[in-house]
Structure 1
Amino acid sequence: MYDVTLTLSGALLQHGHNNSRVYLMDIHDADPLTLIGEMSSLAKKNGYGKIFTKVPKSKTEPFLQAGFSREALVKGLYGGQENGLFLSKYMNPSRANEENSLQYAKVLTMAQEKKYATLAPLKKGTKIRLCTLEDIPRMSYIYKQVFSSYPFPIDDPSFIEASLKGSTVFAGIEKNGMLVALSSAECNFAQDHLHAEMTDFATLPDFRGNGYASHLLRFLEHETKKRGIKTAFTIARAISKGMNITFAKSGYVYGGRLKNNTDIAGTIESMNVWYNDLTEKAV
């Protein structure tokens, strides 16, 4: 069962037992004090271990006073002007304990040492392009092969179709005419947001090691910037050397780590936040 998306006091939330959390995705015009109480009740009712929020800096004080703590920051997340903060509160204190904290630190150090590394061009017979509705069967196949579990039904054709018809931009890499790698940019085109989450990176096992994720990221930056997006960010698995290196190589800034945050690949993992100001980057 995937997380349920709902509107609560005007704010957009997700919650569910797989991630064992309440996730405040967009506060909109909701009153923080009212919302905090309602989210706490929802978390307690379902026995969730964490409340996870993404909010503008100007609205963080009520959360901090209610016991939330800052885990990450993205500069210019809101309209390229106001910083966004990821704040969390642990309903179950053990949820904040990270068994792999030393490994996370090693991965981060390794990634930051690769900052601005040169990206080799795609090899002959390989091209990158936007995905269309005709690609859905192949996209579904790739995601099924790569992810044993995911926070939402990324391999469901109907979910992919709805995303393509909405505000998500998908890109793929073809090898000899066949899609072998994918990624997406979940865009928010509201004028007080104008950000995109770079996510859903997947490369079939036989085609890894070619820098496809970096090429897809650069391509999506270009496509989203053309559409008016000002800030790109990602929430990447803290344990993944490849993905953290990909973002560091592309000039992204490390914004912090979300402890034991997301159910992916069969277990709840900590996630690293990286961000980039597309208004200053030539893409």
Structure 2
Amino acid sequence: METGIIERRIQKPRSTIHITIDHFNKRVRVEDYLGHFQECIEESLKVAKGISAEKIIFKARKENVLDLLAQGFLYEGSIDKFFLGSDCFFLVKYIRNDRRNSEEWEKEDRLLTDVLNLPIKSELDVLHSAYQGRKAEVSDALQLAQLYGKVFKVYPTPMNDPVYVQKCMENGTVFYIFVHEGKIVSAASAEIDAFYHNAEITDCATLPEHRQYGLMKHLIAALEDYLISHEIYCIYSIARSLSFGMNAALHQHGYSYRGRLANNCYIFEKLEDMNLWVKNYT
């Protein structure tokens, strides 16, 4: 099976579609679109059928939500002010029943309830003096890849490949890291959409033996400061629904829960549901 992720711009007679073809996660994601909307829907279904995708994800504008619901798509989440101040709605269609059904949904509901009951913290905990935080450089690509390889047995993108990590950096993804005794032990990144002025906080990883020091909250804060200084005011993150620590870090840092993406991607050990969290500075 092909494992690559391909981004395509498809020009049709009455529309243009920006689409991600994700062979590894067996899904197709419509990132953006312009023109005749029914033609956009038909093309996304055609592409999905062509790669035997199990799930189609549409990042839709408000005015197109009802059109997608009428075509059998389901609402799973949203991102406030994603499109230059306009909301983005995640509408999905499942091609296979087993891709739609989640065995962990009830457990994830209980975990989410526990997370939402935690108090929001306005201040960060004092950082342990043994850790040095900074913005990552291209020369850190090898160590970053090694970190992701250790933390995740399975990941939606090949972050354990230093060439891929370097390519992400060269394409504008910003990484912040913590170093302990000369080694990177924690990292997070921001994938920036400069056109729509939004960014996704992603690639969050900390070695198990360093997780008790609250490093991820400091990394998220550093990334937010960087993004705001570059006029990026819509910030979101997609966290494993089974990860209490990551969901708690986002909630306590002021992010709002906006939905759950069922069987969204292969991560950690298997196909998992992902929670959507959003924070806006407008």
TM-score after normalising by structure 1: 0.92
Matches of 1:5 and 1:76 in 2, distance apart? 23
Matches of 2:144 and 2:38 in 1, distance apart? 42
Q: Which residue of 2 aligns with 1:84?
A: 88
Q: Which residue of 1 aligns with 2:50?
A: 45
How far 1:128 sits from its partner (Å)?
1.4
- Residue 265 of structure 2: which of 222, 237, 262 is its match? 262
Matches of 2:145 and 2:244 in 1, distance apart? 25
Matches of 1:248 and 1:43 in 2, distance apart? 34
Question: C-alpha offsets along residues 54-111 of structure 1, whole Å, 9 cap, x if unaligned?
Answer: 12223333322211121101111122x2111111011123322110111110111121
Matched, 1:132 2:117: no
Question: C-alpha offsets along residues 232-269 of structure 1, whole Å, 9 cap, x if unaligned?
Answer: 00111111111100100101000000111111123211
Question: C-alpha offsets along residues 167-223 of structure 1, whole Å, 9 cap, x if unaligned?
Answer: 211100122343211100001111xx1100000001122212211111111110010
Matches of 2:131 and 2:144 in 1, distance apart? 17
- Residue 117 of structure 2: which of 110, 113, 117 is its match? 113
Matched, 1:222 2:228: no
- Residue 95 of structure 1: which of 99, 120, 125 is its match? 99
Matched, 1:21 2:27: yes
SS of alignment partner, residue 212 of structure 2: coil
Matches of 2:183 and 2:19 in 1, distance apart? 37
Alignment-mate amino acid for residue 253 of structure 2: S
Alignment-mate amino acid for residue 99 of structure 1: E
Matches of 2:168 and 2:36 in 1, distance apart? 29
Alignment-mate amino acid for residue 214 of structure 1: K
Which stretch of structure 1 is more off in the superposition, 147-156 or 81-90? 147-156
Which stretch of structure 1 is more off in the superposition, 8-17 or 64-73? 8-17
How far 1:30 sits from its partner (Å)?
4.8
Matches of 1:144 and 1:242 in 2, distance apart? 19
Matches of 2:240 and 2:35 in 1, distance apart? 30
TM-score after normalising by structure 2: 0.92
Q: 5+ residue gaps in structure 1?
A: none
Question: C-alpha offsets along residues 116-153 of structure 1, whole Å, 9 cap, x if unaligned?
Answer: 13531111122211000121111111111111121111
SS of alignment partner, residue 209 of structure 2: helix
The structure, 1 or 2, with the larger RCO (C-alpha pairs under 8 Å, 6+ apart) is 1
- Residue 196 of structure 1: which of 196, 199, 214 is its match? 199
Which stretch of structure 1 is more off in the superposition, 59-68 or 197-206? 59-68
SS of alignment partner, residue 213 of structure 2: coil
Matched, 1:66 2:71: yes
SS of alignment partner, residue 64 of structure 1: helix
Report if aligned partners of 1:221, 1:278 keep a CA contact under 8 Å in 2.
Answer: no
How far 1:3 sits from its partner (Å)?
2.8
Q: CA RMSD in A?
A: 1.6
Q: Which residue of 1 aligns with 2:18?
A: 12
SS of alignment partner, residue 60 of structure 1: helix
Report if aligned partners of 1:2, 1:151 keep a CA contact under 8 Å in 2.
Answer: no
How far 1:44 sits from its partner (Å)?
2.3
Aligned pairs (5 A) from 1:129-168: 129-168=134-173
